[in-house]
Structure 1
Amino acid sequence: SYVWNPSSFGTTGGPFVVTPTTTTSYTVAVTDANGCFSAASVTTVFVNPQIAVNATDVTACAGSPVVISASASGGNGGPYTYSWSNGVNGASQSVTPPAGFTSYNYIVTVNDGGCSISITDTATVTINPLPVIFMVTPDTAGCEDFLAQFTGLSNIPVTFTWNYGDGSGTQTGANVEHLYTSSGSFNVTLTATTAFGCISSTTTNQFIDVYPSPIAGFTSSPNPATSTSPEVTFSDQSSGALTWQWDFTYTVPQSGFNTSTAQNPSFIYTATGIYQVQQVVTNSFGCTDTAYNTVEVVPEYVFYAPNAFTPANNDGKNDTFTPSIMGYDIDSYEMMIFDRWGNMIYRTTDLNKGWDGRANDGKDLAQIDVYVWKVNVLDFAKKEHQYIGTVTIVK
């Protein structure tokens, strides 16, 4: 008879079919008809663990590739065979989920090539959307320096980054402005990044046109001008100009009274003073530039004294000795009259009060003779002038 452990096998010799789920040992001993015992015999059935597989879930931006992978253990220890639902074999692969899904599943089946049961798992790719973006601007063209304003629009929250195409670097923000300091046509690129790192980009070629500006400039001659020669000629030194607009007595807020559109105009000033001159030049694009200079018109200093007068002939002509002076300091004038013996017989500090030919404080008419006069005066620039001469009283 047979003695089994486990005893559920009974006392026969088998055979028995066993399906252990874990490694199990079976023991049997035999007794013959004479009551003799055999040594116990042990049979061990080794059971491999079930295959386990773990497929990793990942996220991806729409239209972008991403790597999915699976890792197996158990069974007979491998090597394992990985078969994916998209027909690719291997533990990992790069996939690009089809458009139109917010998530997409890839199923992997693993076996160890032995008696283990194949097992499956699912790698889920969560698909984050790409932003749909636009760029707008109120003006796409202007003169240098041109300040352009841009607005970025998106269907989902994003961070905008701008490249203005002029080598100035990038700027972030939904509403931005940029100063173009040189002329040309510029490509503008708008890049939008979501919180998940998904990026959309759009470029508009030759989006911004910046026109060159003319450069204003001029000289004037003579400068300063004088009250006796008040005409000033202006020489255009601008570049790139098509038209010219001049204001010879530019003031704020009043201006526009003395103007010209000639390229090289002249202007006659009617009074002394310092004047601001404005030149505005315009090119074929309508771009303008402005230059300012000053013109000074100064008094002309002139001194003249006659050498004779007739105070006693009662004809009402040439009755006083009066020097003529232009461009002088009215407070500095002094004139003295001396007789042949050096006696001062007349003095005045008023140019309008000439010598009437009288002496002794105006009591007597001086005799017909030659008299010495002396004038001290300052010109408009405060430069001192002293003159000495003679004047003759004649009939």
Structure 2
Amino acid sequence: MPDFTAPVAAGSTVSCPSATNTAPTLPTVTDACGNTLTPGAPVISAALTCEGTRTYTYPYTDCAGNVHNWVYTYTVEFNDFTMPANGTSTVSCIDETDVVPTAPSVQDACGNTLTPSAPTVNTITTCTDDRIYTFTYTDCEGNTHDWTYTYVINNSAPTITSCPADQTFCATTAGSYLIPVIAATDDCSGTLDYEYSISGSTTRTSTGTDASGTFAEGVSTITWTITDNCGNVSTCNTVVTIEPLPVVSLTADPLAGCDPTTINFTDQSTGNINIWEWEFGDGGISGLENPSHTYSSGTYSVTLTVTTAAGCQSTTTMSNYVTISPNPVASFAASPAVTTEDNPTITFINQSTGASSYEWTFGDGTGAMDFAENPLYTYVGNGSFVVTLLAENAGCTDSTSMIVVVKPTFTFYLPNSFSPNGDERNDMFRPFGTGWDVDTYNMRIYSRWGELIFSTTDVNHGWNGLMPDGHTEAQQDVYSVRVFIKGLDGKEHDYLKAVTVIR
């Protein structure tokens, strides 16, 4: 039997070794007689892990024992693999870039997971540099790709958590003032550097969080600067105002007087003053700018405290500033207070208190004065006289007055006859005299038979020679007269006399 013709070897190109695990489609082979031959089991070359060739060899044998092999060859050609997008993230601090990023899972073109190389990391020198991690992936054919992860550092400036508020102080003698400290935080580890610069009325610079110290009067500005490790800077300002103290001064007029005296006070302080507090030393106070105050006797210290609109105070005390002298109390007695011309000298007994000198006037129109403490004065004539004592002490005076009486000397004259004949001469009968207490006067006239002809208690009402009926004339005769009267000295006088009516 003739030999059969074997088919031409075949093959194909694939991209992955796993594709070679699929048996190829066998060709139809017939012997010389047209009978279809069945191939024997194939001989398969070793499986591939990467690129290469893998063959399937099938033997065909006819009934005559003629043998031919049919070979199918797989050629593996790897495709290049695809990389994922590079990674990136933004961080605040350099030390956050020390965390190695997780490399992505990458497969070759056939789905095999590739293991990256250890990452390479660049060196950064400033906070503005990016840190890049580079991972290299290589497949079995040698295709190589890098995957990078970039840390972008966005370091923020320090956060000022407590910038001292603006400060206002009243000036002090020392001139040193306490400023609150500044405080700040940073989003990264490391030490913050603090500096400050003062401008305006005060100029100085230093480091640290505390700018307390000397400040001049006026307005100063503290500029705080906080710097982190990356050179990021934050600033803030604090305005410090040192208000001048008011200059307190006062005057008063008068500074001395007699009880009571009203003192007028005048504030002469300088500064933007809007509050006045006066203490007058006797418990009295005032909030007026220029008050008046009435004092009783004593010596007083005066205190004035002034406050400016900024709340700055100054105080002064004028020790023993006001002296009010007590007024003397004038008083005296007269011995005797009532006398007569027979004894016209009166002793004045000074009963004043708190006086050092005296001035007496005696009220008799002569202008006579006396400066003795207890003078004697002799009056000429009778009358009521206002005696005045002026008592004085350190310019303070008091006066008092009293009336003394010098009564006339007692005299009494009673005519022994009168002629009531209407010729207007000796027509009225009455007594005459001086030194009488007229309120005690009483005169009665009787006939020789004891009949009451006339009576009166009025010294100016005399008898006109008529009978009690007021019409009948009393006959010429001798009548008895009874007169009772007291002298101004209080002595009683009782007279019984006779009077002759002449017709």
Which category describes the TM-score, using the shorter chain as reference length? Answer: 0.5 to 0.7
Name the SS for the 1:327 alignment partner: strand
Q: Which residue of 1 aligns with 2:240?
A: 125
Name the SS for the 2:222 alignment partner: strand
User: Over alpha carbons, which structure has the higher Rg?
Assistant: 2
* Cα contact 1:219–1:236 (8 A) shared by 2: yes
Return closer, same or farther for 1:178/1:346 CA change in 2, 3 Å cut-off.
Answer: closer
* Cα contact 1:109–1:121 (8 A) shared by 2: yes
- TM-score in terms of structure 2 length: 0.54
Cα distance in 2 between the residues matched to 1:304 and 1:345? 22
1:15-54 to structure 2, matched below 5 A, reads: 15-16=121-122, 31-34=137-140, 49-53=156-160, 54=163
Cα distance in 2 between the residues matched to 1:89 and 1:339? 137
* Cα contact 1:339–1:345 (8 A) shared by 2: yes
- TM-score in terms of structure 1 length: 0.66
Higher alpha-carbon deviation: 134-143 or 257-266 = 134-143
Cα distance in 2 between the residues matched to 1:303 and 1:391? 16
Return closer, same or farther for 1:157/1:295 CA change in 2, 3 Å cut-off.
Answer: same
Q: Which residue of 1 aligns with 2:399?
A: 291
Q: Deviations over 1:315-341 (max 9, x none)?
A: xxxxx8847571214xx8553322453
* Cα contact 1:152–1:160 (8 A) shared by 2: no
| Identity score, percent | 24
Cα distance in 2 between the residues matched to 1:300 and 1:363? 37
Return closer, same or farther for 1:127/1:352 CA change in 2, 3 Å cut-off.
Answer: closer
The answer to whether 1:238 aligns with 2:352 is yes
* Cα contact 2:169–2:242 (8 A) shared by 1: yes
- Deviation of 1:237 after TM superposition, in Å, equals 2.1
The answer to whether 1:59 aligns with 2:172 is no
Return closer, same or farther for 1:41/1:227 CA change in 2, 3 Å cut-off.
Answer: same
Cα distance in 1 between the residues matched to 2:462 and 2:326? 62
Q: Which residue of 2 aligns with 1:215?
A: 328
Name the SS for the 1:336 alignment partner: strand
Structure showing greater relative contact order (alpha-carbon pairs closer than 8 Å, 6 or more residues apart): 1
- Deviation of 1:51 after TM superposition, in Å, equals 0.4
1:356-371 to structure 2, matched below 5 A, reads: 361-366=473-478
- Deviation of 1:104 after TM superposition, in Å, equals 1.6
- Deviation of 1:97 after TM superposition, in Å, equals 0.8
Cα distance in 2 between the residues matched to 1:256 and 1:96? 81
Equivalenced residue count is 361
The answer to whether 1:261 aligns with 2:374 is no
Q: Which residue of 1 aligns with 2:443?
A: 335
Return closer, same or farther for 1:246/1:81 CA change in 2, 3 Å cut-off.
Answer: farther
- Deviation of 1:67 after TM superposition, in Å, equals 2.8
Return closer, same or farther for 1:60/1:345 CA change in 2, 3 Å cut-off.
Answer: closer
Q: Which amino acid aligns with 2:399?
A: A
Name the SS for the 2:187 alignment partner: coil
Of 222, 231, 242, which aligns to 1:106?
A: 222
Q: Which residue of 1 aligns with 2:295?
A: 180
- Deviation of 1:219 after TM superposition, in Å, equals 2.1
Cα distance in 2 between the residues matched to 1:240 and 1:171? 32
Q: Which residue of 1 aligns with 2:215?
A: 97
Q: Which residue of 1 aligns with 2:187?
A: 75
User: Structure 2: which 5+ runs fail to align?
Assistant: 1-80, 89-115, 198-203, 420-428
Q: Which residue of 1 aligns with 2:86?
A: 5
* Cα contact 2:337–2:404 (8 A) shared by 1: yes
Q: Which residue of 2 aligns with 1:197?
A: 311
